[in-house]
Amino acid sequence: MSFDTRDYLYRRKEIIDRSLREYLPLDKAETKLHQSIAYSINPGGKRLRPILCLAAAELICGSHKNVLPAACAIEMIHTYSIIHDDLPSMDDDDTRRGNPSNHKVFGEAVATLAGDALLTDAFSLITERFLEQGMSSELVLRVISIISEAAGSKGMVLGQAFDLEMDGDEHPSVSETLNTYMMKTAKMITASVLSGAILAGAEEKELQKLESYSEKIGVAFQIKDDILDVTGNHDTTRGPEVKTEPKKHTYVSIMGVQESNAKVSEFTNQAIGELESFQRTPNPLREIAIWLSEREE
């Protein structure tokens, strides 16, 4: 029986959405701040990062039930990052997933605070929920360390800084561009996979393979986004407008679409190779890697 990737993604997204509604008072947002938080986290998007967290846990132990707080915290951090990315001082985007960006609805100050709250509350969610579950404090601290490093000045935030610097660079190199993608995108994807695997009891040699897998699909994911921006198919993240040329320096603007597609395939194949030693089937991480490389939106 073949693995239905789209059905898997849909069902895992439902689990994440349901858990977020349980953990956050999204339907009872009374203050403007909480309305701002609910506005950005409710629409969802792909929920890729938390789904990868669940998939990694399933690969290691066959179940994801013990990792949901980490998965939801990762989605909260991702939501914070896109609220801040859309601000005029950053990427200056007026739309997100076909709707007005958070700051266009609630103002820049409230949007900034909503992002701040999501980032901070994510770590509160991890500690409170895992302590309630009786999870090992050593594992919880390790996960917090991995996620915080991936999100901070050694990961996603650094990548955003690199991204801003590249806008002013007339001739960024391929290595600079790939390093930016590694920091801005791949680090949090890696933290997602490693968190799920660690909480599910993965061995160190398994974590090394999963780290390599995650870094490769993370960079491939960002290059694929660049390709879709240029080809005009990427209409679910920034809105319905078609982009005929890149807004900023990207791997595609440097290397072209054909070479970029080849690089996505190269990284995807390398990532899949890292999973060969895992015996459990089906392997959602493998199928997600393929789906990411072949998606048209």
Task: Give tens-digit pLDDT for 218-243.
Answer: 999 999 999 998 887 654 444 333 34
In the chain, % of residues over pLDDT 90: 74
Confidence of residue 169 (pLDDT cuts 50, 70, 90): low
Q: What is the DSSP letter of 241?
A: P
Per the omega criterion (within 30 degrees of 0), is the bond before 172 cis?
no
**Are the C-beta atoms of 272 and 290 separated by less than 8 Å?**
yes
- Note the pLDDT of residue 191: 98
Task: For the chain, give every domain's residue range.
Answer: 5-294
Tell whether the model's pLDDT for residue 1 goes beyond 80.
no
3, 284 in Cβ contact below 8 A? yes
Class of the domain covering 5-294: mainly alpha
Measured between alpha carbons, how far is 230 from 288 in angstroms, rounded to an integer? 23
Rg value, the chain, Cα: 18
pLDDT at position 244, please? 40
Structure-token pair, residue 271: 């990532």
Dihedral over Cα of 9, 10, 12, 17: its sign: positive
Average pLDDT of the residues in 18-22: 92
Kindly report, residue by residue over 67-112, the tens digit of the pLDDT. Answer: 999 999 999 999 999 999 999 988 888 988 888 999 999 999 999 9
At residue 56, the pLDDT reads 97
Burial of 161 by CB count in 10 Å (0-12 exposed, 13-18 middle, 19+ buried)? middle
Amino acid (one-letter) located at 81: S
Please give the average per-residue pLDDT across 31-43, as a whole number: 90
Reported as a single tens digit per residue, the pLDDT across 199-210 is 999 999 999 999
pLDDT for 221 equals 97
Nearest 5°: CA angle at 296, between 294 and 297?
125
pLDDT in tens, 133-144: 898 999 999 999
Higher pLDDT, 131 or 1: 131
Judge whether residue 249 has pLDDT over 90.
Answer: no
pLDDT at 273: 95
